[in-house]
Amino acid sequence: MKAGHQFNTPGLRGAAGWVCAILLVVLLARLGAGLREMRGGRESAHAHGVPPALNVVMMGLGGFRGILAEVLWFRMSRLQMEGRFLELTQLADWITRLDPYATQAWTYNAWNLAYNVSAMMRRPEERLRWVANGILLLRNDALNWVPDDPQLYRELSWLYRNKIGSSLDRAHVLYKLSLAETMAPLVDKADGTIPDELSPEANAGLLALRLDPQTMRALQAQFGPLDWRMAESHAIYWSMLGLAYADAESLLACRRDIYQSLLTASMEQGIFTGDLEAGAWSAIPNDKLADGTENFLRETHGLFPREGVANIYARFLAHRIRLAGTPRAEIEARYEKLRTLAPPGVSTIPLDVLLEAPTMPPELFRRPLQ
């Protein structure tokens, strides 16, 4: 027998296969250990809350989980291009089960449910169900796995502020009424705030919604009487939780989410004035949030003086200056704050002009003529 044919025997081929398999297992084990180290031990820290079936899948696949997740991501891109959003939902669910620490998978799946899949539904009630599923996915599942990622909190805040709080979706009134109906039995009947004392039933109801009454009261102490029947209050709540985990890159984004919700609540819709029994939704500005909003904008501008926050802060000061009935001393004090926001070499619009203009002037600062 020729030497070159000795490796073609079935026994040797089988042995070579086993050697390759063993080497692959060792390689994947090292890869898995490296992934666990990069994740900071998250797997062991949260494994106690994992369903047994999911634990079996995760442990059985080992290092193959990441490879399979990448394959599924490529498939998701193809389905998205083809507009097959229902299939995308199932695929994204598999990815989150394969790698539950992948923030991108959670946020993509929640966005797909709340925006793409809901838009495919004809009946408003069906749309509401898919929007609610997107919120539940982030709030009840994603944050269980990755409780320290500010992006998840920001995405949850966005769903409240944009999907429920805005009027972009034709079923937005139903979304708003559903939130108000859910919160009404749990809050003060007069103004929708969280009182100092809660009944055991109300306390349990809030905890079931993953809302901490103590945190809600702290936000009311900081910003003013938040009406928790309104989507903006929930957007503030979740962004504030994310702020605790924000790093240098995400700090401004979290603070921007908060002050945008505060601006909407204080200037447009912050107090529920509708009739739940009649199914009628209406809201008015919550001017009691104005001081808290101004303070938060001032703090944010102090942290990011060159990030465009100055313009937002300036226009809010101008808005408060122009409000009817504002005492002259407050007007002048805010005008002085407004002047400090003018860029170097740029003058502030005169106070009398600001007060007497029929509408808010488009420019608060004027550059000298060349």
Secondary-structure breakdown of the chain: helix, strand, coil percentages, each rounded to the nearest 5: 70, 5, 30
Structural domain spans, the chain: 55-147
- pLDDT digits 0-9 by tens, 4-52: 433 344 444 444 444 444 344 334 444 444 444 434 444 433 433 444 5
Look up residue 148 and give its amino acid.
Answer: D
Task: Check residue 120 and give its pLDDT.
Answer: 81
Mean pLDDT of 64-81: 54
DSSP string, 148-171: T-HHHHHHHHHIIIIIITSS-STT
- Mean of pLDDT over the chain: 82
DSSP-assigned letter for residue 230? S
- pLDDT digits 0-9 by tens, 251-290: 999 999 999 999 999 999 999 999 999 999 999 999 999 9
Dist CA 281 CA 34 (whole Å): 53
Residue 246 scores a pLDDT above 80 = yes
Dist CA 319 CA 332 (whole Å): 13
Per the structure block, which two tokens stand in for 36?
């666990």
pTM: 0.79
